[in-house]
Each structure stands twice: as C-alpha cells, then as structure tokens.
Amino acid sequence: MLAIVTDSTCDLHPDVARDLGLRVVPLHVLLRGRSFLDWHDIDPDAVYDHQREGGEVSTQPATQTAFEATYRDLLATHEGVISLHLSGQLSATAEHARLAAQALNAGSRIQIVDSGLASLPLAEAAIAACEAIRAGGDMAAALGAIQGVQKSLLAEFTVPTLEYLRRGGRLSRTQALIGNMLGVRPVLRFDEGRLQPVRRVRASHATRDILAQLEERFGREPVAVTVGHAGRDPARIAELKAAMDASRLNVARGRMQLMGPVIGAHVGPGTYGLMARPLLA
C-alpha cells in the first residue's frame, strides 16, 4: 500500500480529500493577530471578506513537525509515501517536507515532489496520483501520473488586481503596475514554479479568452476540466460554469473548486481560473 500526501494549497475540500484517501498537511493563515490552520480553522470567505474590508492577511508554510508526524503515522501502515506539494518558488512547504523525510531516515520510502504548481493544478496532480494507486499502480506509476499532469495540463487564472500577489512578493511592483491597467485584466500561468502574467485582456473578454486558449490546445480531445473561484458568489460561479459548458471543449469530467484561505490570501477575492488536461484512454 502507498499513501499520497499533499498540502492544503491543493484547495480540495477536506471531505473530498478524505474520500480520495489523500492526506493533507495544512499551511497557516495569519489574520487579526491569530494563526489558523488552512481549511480547518478558517473558511475561505472569512479571508475574502477581511480583504474586502482592507485587512491584511499573511501565510506561513506547513511545518517540518507536522510532516514528521504525518509520515510516522502513514509509514506504520503503508509501504511508502509520495508527498506532493506546492511550488518551492512560492513556499518553504516542500523544503520542510524534505527535512522531515530526512529526519525520519526513511530513505526511498518517502518521495518528495515539488509540483511547481498550486491550487487547481496541484489538486489535479494529487487526484491523478490517487487514481493511479487505486488502479493498483506502484510508486513509479503514481509518480508517472503526476508527471503526466504536470506536462499536459493548461491552467490560466485572472485576477481583478495584481496587488495581492505583489504584497505577498509573488510579483514585482513593475509587473503589478503593468498588469493593473484600467479596464484590463492580466491572465496568469504557472511558469518555472511561479504564477506569471502572460498577457492582458479586456475584463469583459477574460473568460472567453482563456477558454479559447484551452480550445486551441486540446481541440476535441476528451479532457478533465476544473473551474476555480475565489469566493462563494453563486451568480459568478454559474456564469463560469455556463461559459465552460458552452465552450467547444470535449468535457469528459468536470469539477468546481473553491480557492482556499492560503491561496486566497495571495490572489484576493474575485480571482478565478480555468484548467483542462487530457484524459488518456
């Protein structure tokens, strides 16, 4: 038996992760002088509401101690562990996982993977690993599934403002100024472990523009798609779902995903993302 571990920036609801058999180690959200465990002690909308009121939110990585406890527990009942995490360019979480594995001297029984991703793409990679294990695959198969997702997916995000990313050090002031042009929204992708602006589009055209990129990449190939959104705005969620349904993508599997407290602290309310990856026969 193999176990799959990830961290809370995958933004899978704890109940969903539990159903997948996925162990999730939480990061920390710092708000109003208190520390909260991501997705456990604080709801995503509490972060978004605080930001709309002008409040500051910061985050801290998952701790080495938390990883050591998780690995000890899993190694007592599993042959090995694959621990898959958000980009090391964005957080020390993956490094803390490595240090925990070294401290336990578990050798090849623990494989640490820096995904170079976060949020929707990280969740997709973790889901693929869990599916590979459920299908009877070994560690090599699960690692191959993760690599397949990393290579084949396309995820793009747009934000109302780049200010939250700039505050968190994810973008330079120059990048933020370029992106925050009146009436224009930046479109961002993960590139070498960072979320980078790749183009600018009119705010009213952003969803269609992102879908056009997905359609160009995948054509009529069967794909798994995800719509991610920062905040529970029913009208906006319905609008994004309708746009995906009306696209020319051949959607074989789809899901909606709320962006969580840690991710929300850095991207801010109103952010959304669309992602697709091919489903291999």
Could you report how far apart the first and last alpha carbons of the chain are, in Å?
25
Indicate the CATH number of 154-278 among 3.40.50.300, 3.30.1180.10, 3.40.30.10, 1.25.40.340. Answer: 3.30.1180.10
DSSP β-bridge partners for residue 277? 224
- Give residue 113's pLDDT band: very low, low, confident or very high (50, 70, 90): very high
Residue 124 has what pLDDT? 97
Beta pairing class for 2-7 and 222-229: unpaired
Cα-trace Rg, the chain: 18
How many CB atoms within 10 Å of residue 259? 27
39 — alpha (psi -120 to 50), left (phi > 0) or beta? left
Q: How far apart are CA 256 and CA 277, in angstroms?
A: 15
Encoded tokens for 128: 């693929």
pTM for the model stands at 0.93
What tens digit of pLDDT does each residue of 18-75 get? 999 999 999 999 999 999 999 999 999 999 999 999 999 999 999 999 999 999 999 9
What fold characterizes domain 2-27+62-151? Rossmann fold (3.40.50)
Fill in the DSSP letter of residue 42: B
Residue 281 pLDDT grade (very low, low, confident, very high; cuts 50, 70, 90)? very low
Examine the pLDDT at 183 and tell me if it is beyond 70.
no
Mean pLDDT of 129-142: 96
Distance CA(24)–CA(17), nearest Å, equals 7
**Structural domain spans, the chain:** 2-27+62-151, 154-278
Tell me the three state secondary structure of residue 38: strand
Tell whether the torsion through CA atoms of 246, 248, 254 and 255 is positive or negative.
negative
Phi, psi of 156 (to 5 degrees): -130, 145
Helices 64-75 & 93-104 angle (0-180, nearest 10): 50
Least confident window among 97-106, 115-124, 184-193: 184-193
- Burial of residue 226 (CB within 10 Å: 0-12, 13-18, 19+) is buried
Of the candidates 271, 211, 277, the one whose C-alpha atom is nearest the C-alpha of residue 244 is 211
